[in-house]
Amino acid sequence: MRALAASLVLALVASCSRDAPEAEAQVGPGNVCGDPQLFGERIGTVDGSGACGVENAVRLTSVSGVTLSTPATITCGTARALKTWVETGVRPVVGETGGGVSSLRVVAHYSCRTRNNQSGARLSEHSFGNAIDIAGIGLADGTEMTVLTDWGTSGYGAQLRQMWRAACGPFGTVLGPEADRHHRDHFHFDTADYRSGSYCR
């Protein structure tokens, strides 16, 4: 009987683990997506008009100790891709410049809209919580590397280009100032999946 009871308990635990939404996994107070380096809150389903909306959404406030200027409503997949970029493409590139990276200026996250807000265009990945737009990298000394003013300059230009390139891989789509006029002041990152690999411009 004891063996049977133990088997039933184990089966119940396994079943609950399988059924738990991805974003519910917690490893500590404030952690989301089951990752100790992702902080924010789980907000569950975000309803949107038409095909818009996010399942198991989180409102992310910081990544690996780097603060987001605005909490970002995104999926766990997008949050994890952002973490990879911060850890492998932002911190190593910034190094000790300005005391190191301290924040990311977020200018867009979940929003039910078309690509580039163009009438008749397909829905943007922002409409599904799969995208985040970054306009600046805040440094510990209070200065900021901005995509609009520093891209292509002799100052922070080379570092911004390296960060843009490092996003190619963690994210499916990576767009910057050289993509088109709509992205002259920010990086657009999303987790769309392409058979040919990441699309980076």
Question: Which residues, 6+ apart, have CB-to-CB distance to 21 below 8 Å?
Answer: 44, 55, 56
Instruction: Please answer whether residues 92 and 181 qualify as being in contact, where contact means their C-beta atoms are separated by less than 8 angstroms.
Output: no
Instruction: Please answer whether residues 104 and 137 qualify as being in contact, where contact means their C-beta atoms are separated by less than 8 angstroms.
Output: yes
Instruction: Please answer whether residues 171 and 198 qualify as being in contact, where contact means their C-beta atoms are separated by less than 8 angstroms.
Output: yes
Domain ranges, ordered by start, for the chain: 21-200
Q: What is the mean pLDDT of residues 109-131?
A: 87
Q: What is the mean pLDDT of residues 180-184?
A: 94
User: For the segment 1-32, what is each residue's pLDDT rounded down to a tens digit?
Assistant: 444 444 433 443 344 333 344 444 446 779 99
Return the number of other C-beta atoms located less than 10 Å from residue 45's C-beta: 12
User: For the segment 147-174, what is each residue's pLDDT rounded down to a tens digit?
Assistant: 999 999 999 999 999 999 999 999 999 9
The SS3 of residue 171 is strand
- Give the containing element (helix H, strand E) for 15: helix 2-19
Residue 79, pLDDT > 50, answer yes
